[in-house]
Amino acid sequence: MWGRDDYTEPIPMSPNDVNKINALRVVPTDGYKTWFSVFRESKLIGYVTTRHGGQAFRTQHMDSWDWVASAWNSSDPKHGHAILALLRDIDT
């Protein structure tokens, strides 16, 4: 058998979390294939990525990625868990 038929998706993000993500601008980062820049009110706050291993974030001052999630609901916004983790990191 090639696939799994017993997989249950994680619970979708809350509407409040989706609204936080939708308030930001996420655009591809020049020069990188898998990096996305995250802007809040036209200010760069960090980067997110979704790769084969999962979602991760980094701020401008970090030297490496901080891995956040390896599974998410298909209805969640793209890079959603990484964006929320980035927001938590910069707001603390």
In the chain, domain spans: 15-91
| Phi, psi of 79, rounded to the nearest 5 degrees | 65, 20
pLDDT digits (tens, 9 = 90+) for 11-59: 999 999 999 999 999 999 999 999 999 999 999 999 999 999 899 999 9
Which of 5-9, 26-30, 78-82 is predicted with the least confidence, judged by mean pLDDT?
5-9
Encoding tokens for residue 8? 């249950």
Label residue 92 by pLDDT band (50, 70, 90): confident
Mean pLDDT of 64-70: 96
81 within 8 A of 50, measured Cβ to Cβ:
no
Spatial separation of the C-alpha atoms in residues 31 and 19, rounded to whole Å: 29
Please give the order of strands across the beta sheet that includes 25-28: 25-28, 36-40, 43-51, 54-58, 66-69
